[in-house]
Amino acid sequence: MENLSGESYLVFEQAINDYHKTDDVNASEQNPYDEQTIQHHLYRKNWIDAVQWHLEDIIRHPDIHPKEALAIKRRIDQSNQDRTDLVELIDDYFLSQYQDVPVLASATINTESPAWAIDRLSILALKIYHLQHETERVDANEDHIAKCKQKLSVLLEQKADLALALNQLLDDFANGRKYMKVYKQMKMYNDPSLNPVLYNRKSDV
């Protein structure tokens, strides 16, 4: 992918449109790409984000039953773990892509890995989709529409900046001007051996 940010965004739009064919958080993912391709990972990344986006909407319903809210909260927790795992898988792809590139003596490290930038681009795609929908609502007043259009213009500018920065970063990797180093997230609260609330349960029983 010479223009990875642009091609990634097209995959994200495809996943968003596919999700909204049913607009159902329980719908099966319809990933059309081969499992060994970066496109497959990108599509899955955005599908996870789209489902979680709508779970976050549902859990904020003022009349939601506490039991249902708890179930959704735990589902969101699992979604966050799946999202992190997938971001790390995408970074593994980039590590393999650039592992043989000679690194310049003047090369620097970047504060953010490519996959976490892609994560931000995926969320931006969802924000843009939903704000675009808000600008087209016939049941909303003019002030609401105007505010949403203003926010949408900012998001589109942010998308252009992020896409440019991501492509520049990948070009730096490809030419040895930057080197890639990835730290795993090592989230502790989902690990029963690291979360004291979980590992102390045995002594509470």
- Give Cα 165 distance to the centre of its chain: 17
> Is residue 181 very low, low, confident or very high in pLDDT (cuts 50, 70, 90)?
confident
Q: Where are the domains of the chain?
A: 4-191
Of 81, 102, 84, 103, whose CA–CA distance to 92 is shortest?
84
152 within 8 A of 124, measured Cβ to Cβ: no
In this predicted structure, what is the pLDDT of residue 196?
84
Separation in Å, CA 60 to CA 28, 55, 68, 72 = 23, 9, 11, 10
> Is residue 182 very low, low, confident or very high in pLDDT (cuts 50, 70, 90)?
confident
> Is residue 5 very low, low, confident or very high in pLDDT (cuts 50, 70, 90)?
very high
Helix, coil or strand: residue 89? helix
Tokens of 16: 């968003």
In this predicted structure, what is the pLDDT of residue 118?
97
CA dist., res. 31 & res. 16, Å (int): 11
Across the chain, what does the average pLDDT equal?
93
Mean pLDDT within 75-96: 94
In this predicted structure, what is the pLDDT of residue 194?
75
Tokens of 37: 């391709």
Q: What is the pTM assigned to this prediction?
A: 0.90
User: Which of the two residues, 187 and 139, has the higher pLDDT score?
Assistant: 139
* pLDDT at residue 204 tops 90: no
Q: Give, for 73, the enclosing helix (H) or strand (E).
A: helix 66-98
In this predicted structure, what is the pLDDT of residue 203?
60
In this predicted structure, what is the pLDDT of residue 1?
54
Q: What is the pLDDT of residues 142-157, one digit of tens each?
A: 999 999 999 999 999 9
Helix, coil or strand: residue 21? coil
Residue 188, burial from CB neighbour count under 10 angstroms (0-12, 13-18, 19+): exposed
Terminus-to-terminus CA distance in the chain, angstroms? 54
Q: What is the pLDDT of residues 60-76, one digit of tens each?
A: 999 999 999 999 999 99
27 within 8 A of 19, measured Cβ to Cβ: yes
pLDDT cut 90: percent of the chain above it: 84
CA dist., res. 13 & res. 65, Å (int): 33
